Chain A
Amino acid sequence: MTTTAVIDPTERYESGTRMTSERKQILEMLAAGKISADEAERLLQLTSGSTAGRPASSSSTGATTAVIAQIIDPKFIRVVVEPDPTATGNHAKHHVNVRVPLKIIRAGVNLASLIPNDAGHMVQDSLLNKGFKGDLSKLDASALDELIEALQELSIDATVDNHLVKVFVE
């Protein structure tokens, strides 16, 4: 009678060291396109201390987990405007740094969903006058999750009036 050992892919050994759940998570994120190769390399470097044949220190593991959590679950949306260093001529130099917690979006939508219909129409009309053509009443929890998920991949780099404009989540 022979027995066949079933090896779980998650428990395979790589270069004599066990692939930790963190390394697996990083590679899965890279495969899914959630992080770039550079970010994956940075994260793997952080985990290298825990997979180089010595026990993981709590500080390195904690740092890696924090970085992964930041990438998976960004907390803020940032808008940064800086003068373009390559621009020539004498032009106005503006600096803008705005950091908005993503929690505000969720909390704001929850608050907006409780607004009575008659008041909601007034808000909608006011937003329409300001140029916002969206319908807030159609923004429910599932749509909000999709919106926040889409925001995680948001990264805008633009040059406007001799200024570099960056919009990203962190």
Chain B
Amino acid sequence: MIPPMVMWFKVQWFGIWIPLFLLWPIVIVLLLLVMPLVFIGMAITGNISRFWIAIRIVLAAYKTICATRGLRIDIDKEEMTFEIYLP
């Protein structure tokens, strides 16, 4: 499973390919920084069992993000154009 690497986003005349592949390393680093803190916090409060739920939620969120590949939304109204495409 690979998350979408780029996203086409267009509003009216302005369209841009957003390089999501630049975002994922930042997200991974943030997760690696936050998860130990979450683990320590849960250990202190005695909810250590919930840490595994947090891990499962992160994995499920990752799968959901990966599942968005292929999503396409094109809306063309009279005075409004909106496009999102995740190849």
Contact = CB atoms under 8 A, between A and B. Distances in A.
Contacts of B23: none
B72 A97 contact: yes
Interface of A: 75-76, 92-101, 103-104, 106-108, 110-111, 114-116
Nearest to A104: B67
The prevalent SS among residues of B at the interface is mixed
Interface residues of B, number: 20
Nearest to B54: A114
A76 B77 CA distance: 23
Contact of A108 (B53, B64, B76): B64
The prevalent SS among residues of A at the interface is mixed
A111 B60 contact: yes
Contacts of A108: 64, 67
B73 interface: yes
A116 B49 CA distance: 13
A94 B71 contact: no
Interface of B: 53, 56-57, 60-61, 63-64, 66-78
Given A96-B74, A101-B68, A110-B64, 12 more contacts: A75-B70, A92-B78, A93-B78, A94-B76, A94-B77, A97-B72, A97-B73, A98-B74, A103-B67, A104-B68, A108-B67, A111-B60
A76 B69 CA distance: 11
A111 B57 contact: yes
Nearest to A113: B60
B52 to A, nearest CB: 10
